[in-house]
Structure 1
């Protein structure tokens, strides 16, 4: 609830008062005015009540609109206890509907309507208090939950025990543990052995592996082997390193998926290099870093070509996975990633500032896109020369490819690790040769 001193006001100078536009019109077009917020609250109530009206429920468009207006008016008046009394009235009204639903053997639907009414009251209060974006967000999400009732019930009812457990584990990883981790750098060790890491960055990789694993599970169940190609490329756009964790888990569950998993890692490399290539082209025109563009293009084309021939994409294969992801393997991958980050930080701390190249390599372990964007930004301002910028971009890209090969080495399949390392080496050799030729 806003205090009187916090409530935004419109201040007009004498010159503004002499304008032909009326004060009412000025207030109506501004979301800072109470009138506009109350009107918006009523509109959101109409939006929320639309589905209830269509579903022929006891409370519909008019009831929901009046409830949001009630919340907006009580918030605007800002009288102590008034907002709480209004909320209590809405709760009582919802309880009456719930009792009626119990008598009519329709308790579930009545409870949904009762809770929706309380949400509508909160939307009105949020909007009137100045939290317009928050109020609109709550209204839209609530409406989606009401409209997608059948789809949500069908989805929840169709989950297996393993799928439900994996969903719960992912929720704990993303929404319980992640917010509890400290923000910023945390120093491990002391003196010359002190290394600073970001716990949230490391844990975010764990969450990314789990998220990509869930998406991969759904796509593979639907499209079989071809689904892995989709996971590899689009997962690579989000986090190419996280794709490795997903593929390690897939190979553990189905060793016959090795060739497809190798192709997925290569496609993740292609997506990563394509993303870096897009950054270079978009932000270095007209002085394009040609020395970086050609090697990056070689990685993209080479990765796609190798992925196309290493797996039989025309073969109809059934790849039913046991579960969306394995928590044990996801955490193991996170631990391996943390070791890599620590090793990189330790090397930098021990050997001092070797220059921008070391920074590019270490950044590439986490996000080659971030390292590329930083390099391009410095190149545009003249802080970095052409050759330095080219080498930094290529080092970040090579670091991303190399770390994926290194992480597979600790996986359960020697064949998977060997093939990823072999093809990664060929890609790096080809891009390095192109870079050398362009510099001659």
Structure 2
């Protein structure tokens, strides 16, 4: 019904544009099939998408159109099956024949999506499908090169991300010490997924670049979730204790990335806002960034690509253990927020830093832009969230069984905090 109203209010030229876009996307899908010299190419795919768009427009207006839309889908399936059989009889690989047949059905679906008003969805399906077709060789080589352990890890990650996560409730209230704490199970589980995901990316990079790859994981993983990087490095050190210096450096680089992100939010979103730029945050956060990068460069030898062989992309047990520790930290952070009373906003910044210092930084900047916070209060909240993030990473690293790793992370984290505090004092003076 909603789609009918959308199309009823749409001007004629918009409908024409949708038809043209459907044909263009079909042509785009057929380009790779044409280049691969398959029986169905650019013209066939373009006509399939265009036909699907026409039938969809009719289906939204008449009952006959619905019948034509269903009939068109059946015909595409039949035609695809015929091509698949012909390919098999001609000695073509079964997988290649089936790929062309399924691609034709995808082209039909793209035409339906575009005509029904789901433009972005249709374009996304077309682009992703074309990408899968183009990367055929790379995907096959990747799949064939997987070991049994790597295949198991990939399956476990899929279960974590696509099976368990959607089943968890967004919110769940827990009573602790007489207080009702609102927890977010999906967010907590998302941290487990992040640890596993970063672990898989880290495994691929380190397998290619050795020790240098850990620097990439540390910094860019830190931009996404600096806390999750710790979980990956804990697993890393448990597999290869001799790589502890690189793991420490990765955590430092994750701290640098986290501080860089917070600084970009604090400065970037106050430029041109009508309020003064939060210059106060530049010196302390800049000190943290410089110290973290400097210590990381000093503690690990990045000049050589030290070979580091990992046993598996990630450990399910370690990821779940990290999620459990993260839950405990989150509960204590929520209790601290409830107990601080008048300092509730700062306590909120500290508690938010346990999960994502970016969230606390964004909140402080928004309140500052709206006039609810002064520059000093906003800067303090941002620094508290940053400090909280550094402290929680050091605390999580303290759960490692490797003593040298624990001591180094705690020591260098304290150095970052002292450097940031000294820079803040100099700013005040």
TM norm structure 2 = 0.93
Conservation of the 8 A alpha-carbon contact between 2:267 and 2:279? no
Per-residue deviation, 1:259: 0.8
Corresponding residue for residue 17 of structure 1: none
SS of equivalent to 2:182: strand
Unaligned runs of 5+ in 2: 60-64
Per-residue deviation, 1:10: 4.2
Are 1:148 and 2:129 counterparts?
no
Unaligned runs of 5+ in 1: 12-26
Match of 1:115 among 88, 99, 102: 102
Corresponding residue for residue 296 of structure 1: 285
Conservation of the 8 A alpha-carbon contact between 2:212 and 2:306? no
Corresponding residue for residue 279 of structure 1: 265
1:414-425 equivalences under 5 Å are 414-425=403-414
SS of equivalent to 2:7: coil
The number of aligned residues is 420
1:72-91 equivalences under 5 Å are 72-78=53-59, 79-91=65-77
Are 1:219 and 2:200 counterparts?
no
SS of equivalent to 1:7: helix
Match of 1:256 among 239, 242, 246: 242
Distance in 1 (alpha carbons) for counterparts of 2:294 and 2:5 = 65
Match of 1:41 among 22, 44, 48: 22
Corresponding residue for residue 311 of structure 2: 322
Q: Between Structure 1 and Structure 2, whose CA radius of gyration is higher?
A: 1
Per-residue deviation, 1:417: 1.2
Of stretches 419-428 and 79-88 in structure 1, the one that deviates more from structure 2 is: 79-88
Distance in 2 (alpha carbons) for counterparts of 1:8 and 1:261 = 59
Distance in 1 (alpha carbons) for counterparts of 2:167 and 2:204 = 29
SS of equivalent to 1:196: strand
Corresponding residue for residue 438 of structure 1: 427
Query: How large is the Cα RMSD of the aligned pairs?
Result: 1.8
Change (3 A) 1:72 1:254: same
Of stretches 301-310 and 384-393 in structure 1, the one that deviates more from structure 2 is: 384-393
Change (3 A) 1:59 1:290: closer
Corresponding residue for residue 175 of structure 1: 162
Per-residue deviation, 1:316: 4.4
Conservation of the 8 A alpha-carbon contact between 1:220 and 1:228? yes
Are 1:125 and 2:112 counterparts?
yes
Distance in 2 (alpha carbons) for counterparts of 1:9 and 1:355 = 49
Are 1:7 and 2:13 counterparts?
no
Corresponding residue for residue 180 of structure 2: 194
Conservation of the 8 A alpha-carbon contact between 1:348 and 1:358? yes
Corresponding residue for residue 151 of structure 2: 164
Per-residue deviation, 1:353: 4.9
> What CA deviation, in whole Å up to 9, does each residue of 1:401-433 have, x standing for no partner?
000000011122122111101111111112112
Conservation of the 8 A alpha-carbon contact between 2:229 and 2:254? yes
Distance in 2 (alpha carbons) for counterparts of 1:9 and 1:380 = 39
Change (3 A) 1:439 1:162: same
Per-residue deviation, 1:313: 2.2
Conservation of the 8 A alpha-carbon contact between 1:194 and 1:349? no
> What CA deviation, in whole Å up to 9, does each residue of 1:136-178 have, x standing for no partner?
1111111111111111111111111111111111111112221
Per-residue deviation, 1:6: 5.2
Corresponding residue for residue 390 of structure 1: 379
Change (3 A) 1:36 1:417: same
Conservation of the 8 A alpha-carbon contact between 1:2 and 1:129? no
SS of equivalent to 1:382: coil
> What CA deviation, in whole Å up to 9, does each residue of 1:91-143 have, x standing for no partner?
11111112212222322221111111111111111111111111111111111
> What CA deviation, in whole Å up to 9, does each residue of 1:18-71 have, x standing for no partner?
xxxxxxxxx43x3xx2x2222221111111111111111111112112211221
> What CA deviation, in whole Å up to 9, does each residue of 1:361-410 have, x standing for no partner?
01111111111121122122221123222221111110000000000111
1:46-85 equivalences under 5 Å are 46-78=27-59, 79-85=65-71
Corresponding residue for residue 413 of structure 1: 402
SS of equivalent to 1:266: helix
Change (3 A) 1:372 1:60: same
